[in-house]
Structure 1
Amino acid sequence: MKTFRMRLTLILMGLVGISMLAAGLTMAQVFKDSHVTALEDNMAREINLISSTLELPRIEGNSGAMTYYTNRAKEIDKLTNSRVTFISLSGKVIGDSESDPSKMGNHSTREEVLSAKKNGNTGTSIRYSSTVHENMLYVARHVVSKQGFDGYIRLSMSLETVEEGLRRGWSLMIGGLVVLFLAAALVSYRVAIGLTRPIEHITTVAHRISKLDYDARVNLERQDEIGQLGNAINGMADSLQHQLKRIRDNEDLLQSVLSNMTGGILMVDTNDRIALVNREAERILRLKDTYMLGKLYHEIKRSYELTRFMDEGISRMEQMSEERTIYDPEEKILHFDSVPMFEDDGSYRGMLFLLRDVTEIRKLEVMRSEFVANVSHELKTPIAAVKGFAETLLSGGVKDEETSRSFLQIIYDEGDRLNRLIGDILELSKIESRRVPLEYSPVHVHSLLGSIFEVLQSSAAKKFITMKLEIPEELFMEADEDRLRQIFMNLLSNAISYTLDGGRVKVTAESVAEISGEEEKVRFIISDTGIGIPKKDLPRIFERFYRVDKARSRSSGGTGLGLSIVKHLVELHHGTIRVESKVGEGTMFILDLPLLHNVE
């Protein structure tokens, strides 16, 4: 911009200098022409005055004519300060104020003489005189006197005075031009600054905008074209800033949608490179620590099944849907969808793959099927017993009153078991659907477990089982007392049922604090010296209708839903439950329940 400013200044100065020089030359020429014209007019008048006042005798046959005219020429020279020459009609010099006429050549071809002869009046010329060695102005006129003179009177004057005046004029003019040139230079520089500074500002703002600084603005208070240009750039910046904000908002929205989708999205472009992958796809494929964007999709080596499906989808370029089992390293069931992407003009853009981990869904479907089968089986057994014994009684096949009473007792027991089973199923359904609101209140743990021990004491006494309670008297906690009673009733009933005669059932409690959240909890340990649980069955004991010893469970009247209900109730209390057991040595259930609850 500084170079442009300098060029503009030089151009303006050059134009001003050329204009001033042309004006000076024109003025000098006008001055010279006007001065010479004034001299010519003055000298013509002097010739008229000489011809009218001076006696001019004839030249032919007058031997003293040359002397006479030479003397008169010198006299007039003194009066007019001009060289005076008398010339005959034939061009012979007969008198001159500065040179000997006899030595002077014929003047008939001189320009001023020829001009005077042609015009019949006055002729002028300017030329260098070899006699006086100066530029001279010559004015000649054809004169015919009464005394018989017929020739030319010529006056000549040196132009030294004129040239001296021109030199003085040039000196003044050059001085003035220098002053004017300097002033013009200053004005030109100011004008250049006035033009280039706003342009420089506009250029700087334009560069900032090109570097994505859309907050840059042109600050010009002008109404001319430069001001309009600045306003146009500001409008462009406002439009770009608005559009960029919309683009960023749309990108943020799209990124948020992609990041929070429950399905994995993976896009492969026309070059077989991964162009898009969202967070869920990274989780499913375990690509969190691998930056896959821009890489070939074959580099996803964790899943052969996925790579094979992608190969097939890309080769066929059509919509596909499939479900496959992969091992990474645990077994997973993934549902794959492929969708080809085409532009409006029909050009192929790439393939979009949707990945969904349906492992848990399929597990739930299996559990649902098993649940229906188990419920059907559990309901069918008591119903079949009730129906069979009732039909026997109705047919009259039993005459013995004692046998009839035993049949009726079986029908009653099976009906009671059926009622408990249906009750547990309904209870579990309500708990799983979280339709059981908990009512928290302070619970004195020792009193609660003491009352449960009293209820179960008779069942334990029948098997000579020792019941031991080690609970601090001062221990209180916040919980739903009825649901807490249900938890311990189920656990202690199971402990008594699966403990052999003469065994022991023990309950302890202590306060513990979690190091991470500093949340204080109460840890309960329900232990027995029963038959124990095989290691292979431990992961499944909290499943619905799962029994380790089916014969013993049915004989004890269990429904197979007790531990599942316990697990759900513990989780509703924001607690945890786990089990440790050894076959033949006993089982230990460990519960961690919060001491206090944040009730919103």
Structure 2
Amino acid sequence: MKTFRTRLTLILMGLVGISMLASGITMAQLFKDSHIRALEENMAREIKLLESTLHFVPADGKAEAKTYYTEQAKKLEKMTDSRVTFINLDGTVIGDSDMAAEEMDNHSHRKEIVSASKGEVGSAIRFSDTIGENMLYVAHRVTSKEGFDGYIRLSMSLAAVEKGLKQGFLLMSGGLLILFLLAALISYRVATGLTKPLVQITRVANRISKLDYDARVRLRRRDEIGQLGQAINGMADSLQQQLKRIRDNEDLMQSVLANMTGGILMVDASSKVALINREAERILHMKGDLLLGKSYHELKRNFELHKFVEEGIERKDFLREERTVYDPEEKILMFDGVPMFEDDDSYRGMLFLLQDVTDIRRLERMRSEFVANVSHELKTPIAAVKGFAETLLAGGVKDEETTRSFLQIIYDEGDRLNRLIGDILELSKIESKRIPLEYAPVQIKDLIDNIYEVLLPAAKKKSIVMTHDIPEHLFIEGDEDRLQQIFMNLLSNAISYTQEGGRVRVDAEIINEGGEEEQIRFTVSDTGIGIPKKDLPRIFERFYRVDKARSRSSGGTGLGLSIVKHLVELHHGTIRVESRVGEGSSFILELPLMHPFEN
């Protein structure tokens, strides 16, 4: 910017200098022209005065005439301070104040004589070889009664004029130099005044170009430079707002992509990965940083996806497929491919949606199995009731004891059918969260004692010892009916799957005591047949039975543990099972001691 300031100063000084020089030359030329014009007019008046006062003789070319006019020319030179020349009409010099007439050339071709021959006052300026100076010549045609018809010419040296002009030019040059210095100082101040705000504007513009949108021009001027500064500030404000909007939109897009339940993978027109979100990274077990900007062939370790992407890029059309992959566990993935085109139909790439539908397909399979199991479970008692009822109606049974036995079977199967339907409806309500829990303080020892009292007859039949070690002061906040349902199911199962002479026990202890999440851990253990390790992950599924024959003989519906799990989760608790075949099982529940207030 200093260079610009220097250049601007030099330009202004140059313009001022040229203007002053041109003005000086013009003034000098005008002065010279004006002075010469005044001399011409003065000399013309003198010629006219001579015409009216001088005694003329005939200019017949005789020696006497030349002598007369020569003498007159010399006299007049002293009077007019000018060189005087008398010239015949044909251009012959007949008298001159400085030279002999015979030695002078014919003057008919001279510029001033040519002009005078036309009736005008002729004038000319030219260098005189005789005296070696620039001369001013003025001539006029004179016609007298005495017989003279020719020209009188006055000439004067311009040396004095040029000397005066030189002195005037020197004085003027001095004045112009002083003015030039003043103009230079003013130019520097003007250049500084122009460039200083421009320096600030340039600095701010550079900061804005480096993405510093907080930079502003601090000027309080109302001229064009001030308006430029305001325009720069307005541009910075606009850019800042647009950048904020872009960043907000980008953050929103990144948040949406990061929190999508489906994986997003974009391959651009050059077959390079342009976008990948967090879920796609999880599904592919690959970091996005290692894929972005690289060819989609980097996906080769995921063979099915690579094959699908390759097919989508080749076809550039909508695709949808469900494929099973092993990475390393089995997964079911839904692949969707969408071609991306601009408004002008230019191809931008392919967008792929990766959806892990393993859990969805598992739930569908469980639903299908549930329907099949319900149909099977309902069909068995219905078939029994129908078969025995048909036998009785046919009159084939005459023995009263057999009839009573058949009726008892019909009753038992009807009761089992009723319990099965009741459990299905109960499970449906629990899963749909249509049963609000009524929280209240529950004394755990009294709860377990009441359940033991109900189950004691069934335990005595198998000589099973039921014990617990629960202190009197232990309370929990929960829905008493649902807690009773939980422990009733667990203890009923424990008695059913424990051999004669076995033991069933309930223990309770507080965990995280004094912490923010105090809980009570319940352990319902037995010395029963145990659960094989392969069955443990599915023990809480609906209608899942480890020993189907024993379950049916005990009258179980296969829904008890599933109901227990859902009720525990409604109490914001957890349940798990530990078991060894032949040694027994332990169901471990952890329930919150207190529940937060909920609107």
With the shorter chain as reference, the TM-score category is: 0.7 to 0.9
Aligned residue for 1:301, secondary structure, equals helix
Aligned residue for 1:396, secondary structure, equals coil
Aligned residue for 1:464, secondary structure, equals coil
User: Which residue of 2 is the match for residue 436 of structure 1?
Assistant: 435
Aligned residue for 2:452, secondary structure, equals helix
Q: For the Cα contact (< 8 Å) 1:88–1:94, is it kept in 2?
A: no
User: Which residue of 1 is the match for residue 292 of structure 2?
Assistant: 293
Aligned residue for 2:103, secondary structure, equals coil
Per-residue CA deviations over 1:142-183 (Å, capped at 9, x if unaligned) read: 778999999876654432321222123323433444455556
TM superposition shift of 1:23: 4.4
2:28 equivalent to 1:28:
yes
Once the two structures are overlaid, the 10-residue window that deviates more, 40-49 or 194-203, is 194-203
User: Which residue of 2 is the match for residue 381 of structure 1?
Assistant: 380
Q: For the Cα contact (< 8 Å) 2:126–2:136, is it kept in 1?
A: yes
Cα distance in 2 between the residues matched to 1:156 and 1:68: 16
TM superposition shift of 1:91: 5.8
User: Which residue of 2 is the match for residue 459 of structure 1?
Assistant: 458
Q: In the alignment, which of 542, 547, 570 is matched to residue 544 of structure 1?
A: 542
Q: For the Cα contact (< 8 Å) 1:264–1:354, is it kept in 2?
A: yes
Coordinate RMSD, CA, aligned: 4.6
TM superposition shift of 1:46: 4.2
User: Which residue of 2 is the match for residue 414 of structure 1?
Assistant: 413
Q: For the Cα contact (< 8 Å) 1:115–1:124, is it kept in 2?
A: no
Cα distance in 2 between the residues matched to 1:384 and 1:518: 55
Residue type at the aligned position of 1:33? D
Distance 1:367-1:102 versus aligned 2 partners, 3 A rule? closer
Residue type at the aligned position of 1:520? E
Residue type at the aligned position of 1:588? S
Aligned residue for 1:507, secondary structure, equals strand
Equivalent runs, 1:393-542 vs 2, <5 Å: 393-513=392-512, 518-542=516-540
TM superposition shift of 1:434: 1.2
Once the two structures are overlaid, the 10-residue window that deviates more, 54-63 or 179-188, is 54-63
User: Which residue of 2 is the match for residue 392 of structure 1?
Assistant: 391
Per-residue CA deviations over 1:308-346 (Å, capped at 9, x if unaligned) read: 333344444444433222111111112233344455665
Aligned residue for 2:438, secondary structure, equals coil
User: Which residue of 2 is the match for residue 39 of structure 1?
Assistant: 39
Cα distance in 2 between the residues matched to 1:440 and 1:524: 19
Cα distance in 1 between the residues matched to 2:63 and 2:394: 201
Distance 1:181-1:396 versus aligned 2 partners, 3 A rule? same
Once the two structures are overlaid, the 10-residue window that deviates more, 337-346 or 241-250, is 241-250
Distance 1:288-1:455 versus aligned 2 partners, 3 A rule? farther
TM superposition shift of 1:569: 0.9
Q: For the Cα contact (< 8 Å) 1:93–1:107, is it kept in 2?
A: no
Distance 1:491-1:189 versus aligned 2 partners, 3 A rule? same
Residue type at the aligned position of 1:489? M
Q: TM-score, normalised by structure 2?
A: 0.81
Distance 1:307-1:40 versus aligned 2 partners, 3 A rule? closer
Cα distance in 1 between the residues matched to 2:279 and 2:206: 41
Once the two structures are overlaid, the 10-residue window that deviates more, 15-24 or 410-419, is 15-24
Residue type at the aligned position of 1:447? D
Residue type at the aligned position of 1:507? V
Aligned residue for 1:552, secondary structure, equals helix
Cα distance in 2 between the residues matched to 1:328 and 1:426: 39
Cα distance in 2 between the residues matched to 1:293 and 1:190: 57
Cα distance in 1 between the residues matched to 2:130 and 2:436: 141
2:334 equivalent to 1:303:
no
User: Which residue of 2 is the match for residue 556 of structure 1?
Assistant: 554
Equivalent runs, 1:119-134 vs 2, <5 Å: 124-129=123-128, 132-134=131-133
Q: For the Cα contact (< 8 Å) 1:112–1:139, is it kept in 2?
A: no
Cα distance in 1 between the residues matched to 2:529 and 2:62: 184
Residue type at the aligned position of 1:163? E
User: Which residue of 1 is the match for residue 573 of structure 2?
Assistant: 575
Cα distance in 2 between the residues matched to 1:368 and 1:94: 147
Per-residue CA deviations over 1:169-221 (Å, capped at 9, x if unaligned) read: 32343344445555666676777788888888887787777767788889897
Cα distance in 2 between the residues matched to 1:464 and 1:196: 108
Once the two structures are overlaid, the 10-residue window that deviates more, 171-180 or 482-491, is 171-180
2:378 equivalent to 1:370:
no
TM superposition shift of 1:524: 0.9
Q: For the Cα contact (< 8 Å) 1:276–1:293, is it kept in 2?
A: yes
Aligned residue for 1:334, secondary structure, equals strand
TM superposition shift of 1:112: 8.5
Cα distance in 2 between the residues matched to 1:403 and 1:122: 172
Once the two structures are overlaid, the 10-residue window that deviates more, 121-130 or 553-562, is 121-130
Cα distance in 1 between the residues matched to 2:289 and 2:392: 74
Cα distance in 2 between the residues matched to 1:246 and 1:121: 88
TM superposition shift of 1:349: 4.5
Per-residue CA deviations over 1:230-264 (Å, capped at 9, x if unaligned) read: 99989988887887777666656655554444433
Residue type at the aligned position of 1:542? F
Once the two structures are overlaid, the 10-residue window that deviates more, 79-88 or 570-579, is 79-88
Once the two structures are overlaid, the 10-residue window that deviates more, 582-591 or 248-257, is 248-257
User: Which residue of 2 is the match for residue 158 of structure 1?
Assistant: 157
Cα distance in 2 between the residues matched to 1:145 and 1:488: 163
Structure 2 residue runs without a partner (length 5+): none
Q: For the Cα contact (< 8 Å) 1:113–1:152, is it kept in 2?
A: no
Once the two structures are overlaid, the 10-residue window that deviates more, 227-236 or 520-529, is 227-236
Aligned residue for 1:591, secondary structure, equals strand
Q: For the Cα contact (< 8 Å) 1:112–1:140, is it kept in 2?
A: no
Distance 1:92-1:299 versus aligned 2 partners, 3 A rule? closer
Aligned residue for 2:459, secondary structure, equals helix
Aligned residue for 1:174, secondary structure, equals helix
Cα distance in 1 between the residues matched to 2:588 and 2:115: 147
Q: For the Cα contact (< 8 Å) 2:112–2:137, is it kept in 1?
A: no
Aligned residue for 2:499, secondary structure, equals coil
TM superposition shift of 1:391: 2.9
- Total equivalences in the alignment: 594
2:586 equivalent to 1:588:
yes
Q: For the Cα contact (< 8 Å) 1:129–1:136, is it kept in 2?
A: yes
TM superposition shift of 1:21: 4.1
TM superposition shift of 1:448: 1.7
Distance 1:229-1:457 versus aligned 2 partners, 3 A rule? same
Cα distance in 1 between the residues matched to 2:324 and 2:79: 137
Q: For the Cα contact (< 8 Å) 2:84–2:153, is it kept in 1?
A: yes
Q: For the Cα contact (< 8 Å) 2:93–2:101, is it kept in 1?
A: no
Q: For the Cα contact (< 8 Å) 1:425–1:561, is it kept in 2?
A: yes
TM superposition shift of 1:48: 5.5
Aligned residue for 1:578, secondary structure, equals strand
Cα distance in 2 between the residues matched to 1:116 and 1:429: 134
User: Which residue of 1 is the match for residue 564 of structure 2?
Assistant: 566
Q: For the Cα contact (< 8 Å) 2:268–2:349, is it kept in 1?
A: yes
Per-residue CA deviations over 1:69-122 (Å, capped at 9, x if unaligned) read: 76x7776655554456778999677674xx6x6698336549499569846897
TM superposition shift of 1:133: 4.5
Distance 1:54-1:356 versus aligned 2 partners, 3 A rule? closer
TM superposition shift of 1:577: 1.0
